[in-house]
Structure 1
Amino acid sequence: MSIYILTPELFIKQKAQQLAYVVNQLMERAIPFSEVHIIVWDILEEWNRLDKDDTDTLSDFERVFWHLFYTIQFESEGDLANNKHLRLSISKCCQYLKQPELSPPQGCVGVRP
Structure 2
Amino acid sequence: MKVNAFIDNKAKQLCYYLRGFWGNQIAYSELELFFWDILEEWSQVDYDLSQPYSSKERAFWHLLHQMHFWDAEKLMYDDELIEELQGCANYLEGKGACPADCIGIRP
- Quickly name the TM-score band, shorter chain normalised: over 0.9
Identity %: 35
Displacement after TM superposition at 1:18 (Å): 0.5
Report the count of equivalent residues.
Answer: 107
List structure 1 runs of 4+ shifted beyond 3 angstroms. none
What is the distance in 2 between the residues matched to 1:90 and 1:25?
13
1:62 matched to which residue of 2? 57
Q: Which has the larger radius of gyration?
A: 1
The letter of the residue matching 1:76 is D
| Other-structure match for 1:37 | 32
Corresponding residue for residue 23 of structure 2: 28
Q: Which runs of 5+ in 1 are unaligned?
A: 1-5
Matches within 5 A, 1:1-113: 6-99=1-94, 102-113=96-107
Q: Deviations over 1:22-48 (max 9, x none)?
A: 111111121110000111111110100
Instruction: Specify every segment of 5 or more residues in structure 2 that has no aligned partner in the other structure, as ranges.
Output: none
Q: What is the TM-score normalised by the length of structure 2?
A: 0.95
Query: For residues 63-108 of structure 1, what are the alpha-carbon distances to aligned partners after superposition, in whole Å with 9 as ceiling and x for unaligned?
Result: 00000000000101111111100000111111111116x2101211
TM-score, scaled to structure 1:
0.90
